[in-house]
Structure 1
Amino acid sequence: MPAHREPTLADVAEAAGVSLTTVSRVLNNRGYLSRETRDRVAAAVSRLGYRPNQVARALHGKSTRSVGLIVPTVRLPFFGELAEHVEDALANHGYRTFICNSMGKADRERGYLDLLISHRVDGIISGAHNEDIPEYDKVRMPLVTIDRMLSPTIPDVHCDNEEGGRIATTHLLSRGARRPALLTSRSGAHNMREAGYRSVLAEAGIEPVVLTADFHIPDAERPGVIRNRLDAVAPIIDAVFATDDLSAADVLEWAASQGLAVPEEFKVVGFDGTSAMRRAVPGLTTVQQPIARIAHRAVQILLSQIHGSYVGGFEEEHDDQVQVGDLVTPPLGIALVEGRTA
C-alpha cells in the first residue's frame, strides 16, 4: 500500500486474511465471529491505522457521532468558553465537535453550514450572529441555536437578557448614575439587553443614550471606535452599561484616559462574566451568564432530538430538564457580580 494513501476496508481484509464482509461484521459488531478472527482484524486495523469513512457510514444510515458548532469566533471570551463547555458535554456522550468560526461573515457561515450538512453531522448548534441566512430553513437535521432566534420551530437557548439589562441599569442608578449610556454591538428590537436598559430608564424618566460598536470590528480598530463613540457623548453621560465585558474593558481604558475616577466619577457595568475576563479585569462589575448551563442545555436538547428521547447525564437544575421536541426554552437566570467599577 502506498505510504501516502489512506488504508481502505480492502487493505484491512487483505492484511487480516479475511473477506470484506468479515471485516465489516467485526467493525459493526454483527453476527458470531471467533475471538481469533476479531483479534486478527483488530490487529490489522491498528497496524494500518485504518479509520472508517464517517460520511460513507452516514450514507448507509449510520450516525457519524459528530456535531457542528457555529460561532462568531472563539477569540471572543464568551464564545471561547461556550465552545469549551459544548465540546466537553458532547465528548461525554461520545460525540466529536466540529467548531466553525463565521468571523461575522454571512457567506462564511453559509459555507460552513453547507460543509456540515454535506459531511452528515448528526446535528448543529448555531450561535453565530449573522442575519438573513435563509439556508437554515432548509436544514433537515437536529438544530439548536444559542442566543439566536431563527424560527419559532427551532429551540433557542439563552439567558434572561432583558432581565440582565434591567439589573445592570438599575444597579448603575442605585449607585448614583444620572445618565447611563448603553454600549452594544447592534441596536434594535432583537436586542433584549437594550430592551431591559430602555425599560428601566423609561421608568426613571431618563432619556437613553445608545452607542454601537459591532463586535466584528478588527481588534486594532475597536478601541478607537469605542473611544470616538464615548467622546461624542462624554459631556452628558456619567456611566456605561456595556453589553459585553470586552467593551466594558475598553470603556474603563477610555475613562482612565479622560482622568475620570471609577467609580467615583464614572461607573461601568459589563455583561457575560467569563472566567477569562474575571481574571483580566477582576474588579469589573458585570452581569454573569450561566455559560456552562447554556452549553449543557443546548447539547441536551440537541441529543434529545438526535435520539428521539430524553437524554440524561447532565448536572442541571430541575428546570433544565427537557423532552424531545421541546421548542420553548425558558431563559436561564443571571446574576450581578459586583466589583469596583460601579
Structure 2
Amino acid sequence: MVVRHEPTLADVAEVAGVSLTTVSRVLNNRGYLSQATKDRVAKAIAQLNYRPNQVARALHGKSTNIIGVIVPTVALPFFGELADEIETALAEHHYRMLVCNSMGRAEREREYLDLLVSHRVDGIISGAHNDDLSEYQTVRMPLVTIDRDISPTIPNIRCANEAAAHQATRLLLDRGALRPALLTSRTGPHNRREAGYRSVLEQAGVEPLIFTVDFHTPDDERARLIDAHLDAAADQIDAVFATDDLSAAAVLDWAERHGRRVPEDFKVIGFDGTSAVRRALPGLATVRQPLTDMAHAAVEVLLAQIQAHANGEDATPVDSPIELPGELLPGKTT
C-alpha cells in the first residue's frame, strides 16, 4: 500500500488487516490482544511511519507529553543554556519541549501563548521578558515562570538576585572601587539586582548611578547606548556592575578603547555566568546563575501541577518566588 498523505489510523488498520478499534486499543494498551495482533499493528506503524496526532490525543483528554517553553531567544547564551537545561530535566520524566522565541515582541509572545494553549500542551514554562501580558491570567493549564513575576498565583523560579547583586557590588568596593555604576535593562522596584546594588551603596554612603538600556534593544543600538552612557559619566565612575554578561563585555570593550586598565583603573563585573561567555571571556568577574537547579525546580513544580490537573485536583500552593543562590566568580576584572 502506497500512502500519498500523512498516514492515519485508518491506513494503519488497513495495512495491519484489523479494525480501527483494534489499532486504538493497541496504541492505548487497552483490553486483551494477542501478541500476533500487536505485532501486525506495530509492523504497519513502522511501515507507514505513522505518528500519533498529539492534538487529537489532547482533545481526547490524553497527555501530549509536550511542554511549551517561551523565551526571548535561544540565540542569547543565558536563554539558550536555560532551554538546554529544561530539555534535559524534562527528558528525565519522558517529556519533550517545544521552544518559542518571542524575540522581545509582546504580540509574538501572545501568538505563541495562544498556539501552546490551542495545541493543548501539558504545561508552559515562560521566561520571556514582556511585561503586562494579561493573557497569562486566563491560562487554565499548568504554568511556571523563570525569573519573571506575572502573578502571585503563578510560581516563579529565579536566582536570589538581590543577594547575588549585593555580593557583586560589595566585591567592587572591597577591591577599591569608589563609585561603581549599575548598567541594567530597566530600573524600578521589580529589579532585585538593582535593589542589591542600592543597598550596598547606601551602607557605604555612595551615591548610586544607574544606566538603563532596554533588554530588547537591537545589538548595534545597544552598543551605541552603552558607549553613550559611559562616555557621559567617564569622569565620575571607576567600576560597572552590569546585570548581564553581554553588557559587561560591552563595558570591557569601552574600557579598552578608552585606555582604561582593567582591573587597575577600572573594574567590571557581570551577571549570568553562562558557559558560552565564560569560554569567550574566562577572566570576566560575574555571578553564575544556578541554571541546572533553576531548570529542575521549574520542571518539578510544573509536573506537580500537571499531576494534580490530571487527578482533577488543585495543585498544592508553593511559596513563590523560589529563589536559588548564585555563585560569585571574582575573575580578573575586579
| TM alignment of 1:4-19, pairs within 5 A | 4-19=4-19
Unaligned runs of 5+ in 2: 310-314
3-state DSSP of counterpart to 1:234 = coil
**Over residues 304-324 of structure 1, what are the superposed CA-to-partner deviations in whole Å (9 max), with x where a residue is unaligned?**
111129xxxxxxxxxxxxx94
Question: Corresponding residue for 2:32?
Answer: 32
Q: How many percent identity over aligned positions?
A: 66
Match of 2:131 in 1: 131
2:320, 2:172 → 1: CA distance? Answer: 32
Classify the secondary structure of the residue corresponding to 2:176. Answer: coil
Cα shift at 1:328: 2.9
Q: Indicate if the aligned counterparts of 2:156 and 2:322 stay in contact, CA closer than 8 A.
A: no
Cα RMSD between the aligned structures? 1.3
Q: In the alignment, what sits opposite 1:206?
A: 206
Q: Secondary structure at the match of 1:69?
A: strand
Structure 1 unmatched ranges of 5 or more: 310-322
CA distance in 1, matches of 2:3, 2:215: 46
Residue 341 of structure 1 is matched in structure 2 by 333
Question: How much has 1:88 moved relative to structure 2?
Answer: 1.0
Matches within 5 A, 1:304-315: 304-308=304-308
| Paired letter, 2:187 | S
Shift of 1:325: 3.2
- Correspondence 1:1-342 to 2 at 5 A: 4-308=4-308, 324-342=316-334
Q: Distance in 1 between the 2:330 and 2:202 partners?
A: 24
Alpha-carbon displacement from aligned partner over 1:136-164 (angstroms, at most 9, x marks no partner):
00000000000111111110001110011
Tell me the distance in 2 between the aligned counterparts of 1:110 and 1:248: 31
For each residue in 1:163-187, what CA deviation from the matched residue of structure 2 results, as whole angstroms up to 9, or x when unmatched? 1111111100011111000000111
Query: 1:4 deviation in Å?
Result: 4.3
C-alpha distance in 2, partners of 1:201/1:2? 73
Cα distance per residue 1:110-139 (max 9 Å; x no partner): 000000000000000000010110000000
What SS is found at the alignment partner of 2:120?
Answer: coil
* Cα displacement (A) at 1:329: 4.2
Displacement after TM superposition at 1:224 (Å)? 1.6
| Structure 1: distance between partners of 2:173 and 2:329 | 16
1:280-338 deviation digits (Å, cap 9, x = unpaired): 100001111111100110001001111129xxxxxxxxxxxxx9432434310112101
Structure 1: how far apart are the matches of 2:62 and 2:321? 29
Match of 1:313 in 2: none
Length, aligned pairs only: 329
Q: Does the aligned pair in 2 maintain the 1:301–1:324 contact within 8 Å?
A: no
Contact 1:144–1:301 (CA under 8 A) maintained in structure 2: yes
Alignment partners' CA distance in 1, 2:68 and 2:110 = 13
Native 8 Å contact 1:71 1:101 kept in 2: yes
Contact 1:159–1:294 under 8 Å retained in 2: yes
What is the CA distance between 1:260 and its match in structure 2?
A: 0.4
Judge conservation of contact 2:227–2:254 (CA < 8 Å) in 1.
Answer: yes
